Structure formats: structure tokens, C-alpha cells
Amino acid sequence: MNLYQPHLMRIEEILDEAPDIRTLRLSFLDSTVAGRFDFRAGQFGEYSVFGAGECVLSFASSPTRKEYIETTFQAVGKVTRAIWRMNIGDTIGFRGPYGNGFPVEGMMGKNLVLIAGGMGLAPVRSLIWNALDLRGQFNEISIIYGAQDVPSRVYKHELEQWAERDGLNLYQCVDPGGESHGWKGEICFLPTLVEKVSPSPENSCAVVSGPPIMVSLTLQLLEKLGFAPENIYTTLQSRMKCGIGKCGRCNVGPLYVCKDGPVFNFAQLKSLPPEY
């Protein structure tokens, strides 16, 4: 794959996740490109709308499912609003994959503690389905998910599926005031739920993704619970623009998030400049 050249993809399916959040299922127009394409959970791509520009979005589908890729986005800027206006059958530009991804092979044989807030579930969803498609390679899987309110939760139908799976523990919360009639989950901020669940660090890897303040608090909490910093991972993709280390937007100390990340463990984050 030429990482500098956009390839054309067709929008095969559009799923509304929340009032301003959608998931796209995409397929390559060129079958020869499709046959060569591969990626890792935690990597990202650049999606372009002709005349509007391009934006960074993570993969939300599992790399084990080769016939399509999925990405989830929120309509918050010029490009994402242009993507929002697109329909099934329309063509979108794509280049990638970029970044390092989660160390899936190193997580095999361990318990997975997957913590996500709001839209932060998108890159974690890729890892969830990756692990579920290779279920025998992992031990217990725990998903701890929080959102601002009940309607803004993403992948609602899949959350219900995951709750019914053997060997998978699902814990959910919404912020105080975000509950609605019939809500059966917790009512608290996500770090509070993590502290209440108190996942065991023994033979475990943790992944944290979501709003910066939530990620910061949760990383510190996991270390307090006994997780080694080397076994706690997060993704910093919100800092990226060009994807190839040219624009300098994601430069943090000696690192470029797009090339050296976007996945980092907590030990690596501690070595970055304090202003980060």
C-alpha cells in the first residue's frame, strides 16, 4: 500500500450511534487494494471529502474482518460535517493505515481491562472485536464504559450483545444527571466506576481511551490499583493531522504521535514533557 496515496472507498452502510455520531462501513473500490490491505487495532486512517479536506479517524472494526473497515466519527468540524452529509453509495478518500496500534500479540494470554469514555470507545471497539474473534487467545475481558448521558452512548446494540457473552464483564455508567427512566447502569463519573470495579492487575493489561481529563485520572487510578505503567495503554490520536510526521502538529518532546504512537503506555507518557 502507498501510504501517501488516497484510495477510493464506497460507503456501504451508515449507522446512527447518537444524535451527532455515526459509524460508516466502507469497502475499497479497487479489489486489488482490498486484497493487500491490513491494519492493527489502534491504528488510524486519513479520510477525505473532496473539496472539504481530510481528517484523522481511528479504525473501529476488527482487523480480522477483511471485507470492510468501519470508522466512527462525530460531526464537529468542516470535514466531519461533510462526511455526515454523505450517503450510502458515495465515494470517500482514504489513506493509511498509520501508527503503531495496540500490542495485541503481547496481550494474548492475559486479562484485558478495556476502559472507554464517550467516543473513546471507537478505537477500543476495534480491539474488543479483535479479541472476541480470537477469543481463545485471551483470558477474562472486562469493559468499563461511561458516557455523558444515556442517548450519547455509542454502539448501544453491541453493548447489549457484550453484556450477554460468557467470559466478558461489562460495566456501564452515565454522568450524574445523564440518567433516564429505565437506566440500570451506574450513575457516576467513569473513574469512580473504575475504582468501584477495582480490576485486578494480576496478569492483566489495561487500555484507556476517552476525554483527556478522564484518561489522566484513570491512568493514575490504575497505577494506584497496582497496574504496572508498562501494562497500561492509551491512544493520543486527537493530536494528529497529517499522519506522516510532516506537519509537526503532534510533536511532543522527541516524539511524533502519528509515527511513534498513537498508542503509548503509561511509562512512556511519564517521560514526555510535563506541559503535555
Q: What is the pLDDT of residues 10-54, one digit of tens each?
A: 999 999 999 899 999 999 999 888 888 999 999 999 999 989 999
Asked whether residue 3 carries a pLDDT value surpassing 80, the answer given is no
Residue 2's pLDDT band, with cuts at 50, 70 and 90, is: low
Asked whether residue 273 carries a pLDDT value surpassing 90, the answer given is no
d(CA 90, CA 69): 15
Tell me what the mean pLDDT of segment 230-250 comes to. 84
Residue 56's pLDDT band, with cuts at 50, 70 and 90, is: very high
What pLDDT does residue 254 have? 83
Tell me what the mean pLDDT of segment 153-166 comes to. 95
d(CA 268, CA 139): 26
d(CA 46, CA 240): 10
Domain boundaries, the chain: 7-98, 104-235
Residues 27/85, Cβ–Cβ less than 8 Å: no
What pLDDT does residue 30 have? 93
Q: What is the pLDDT of residues 105-128, one digit of tens each?
A: 999 999 999 999 999 999 999 999
Q: How does the average pLDDT of the chain come out, rounded?
A: 93
Q: What is the pLDDT of residues 58-91, one digit of tens each?
A: 999 999 998 999 999 999 999 999 999 999 999 9
For domain 7-98, give the fold: Elongation Factor Tu (Ef-tu); domain 3 (2.40.30)
Residue 242 is given by DSSP the state S
Asked whether residue 218 carries a pLDDT value surpassing 80, the answer given is yes
Tell me what the mean pLDDT of segment 126-146 comes to. 97
| Cell numbers 469497502: residue | 27
Architecture of the domain made up of 104-235: 3-Layer(aba) Sandwich (3.40)
Residues 165/133, Cβ–Cβ less than 8 Å: no
What pLDDT does residue 274 have? 67
Residues 48/6, Cβ–Cβ less than 8 Å: yes
Q: Can you state the angle between helices 212-224 and 190-197, rounded to 10 degrees?
A: 20
Residues 225/198, Cβ–Cβ less than 8 Å: yes
Q: What is the pLDDT of residues 260-269, one digit of tens each?
A: 889 999 999 9
CB proximity list for 22: less than 8 A, separation 6 or greater: 14, 15, 16, 72, 73, 75, 84
Q: What is the pLDDT of residues 167-206, one digit of tens each?
A: 899 999 999 999 998 899 999 999 999 999 999 999 999 9
pTM of this structure: 0.95
What pLDDT does residue 53 have? 93
What pLDDT does residue 171 have? 98
Q: Decide the pairing of beta strands 7-18 and 91-98.
A: antiparallel
Residue 228's pLDDT band, with cuts at 50, 70 and 90, is: very high
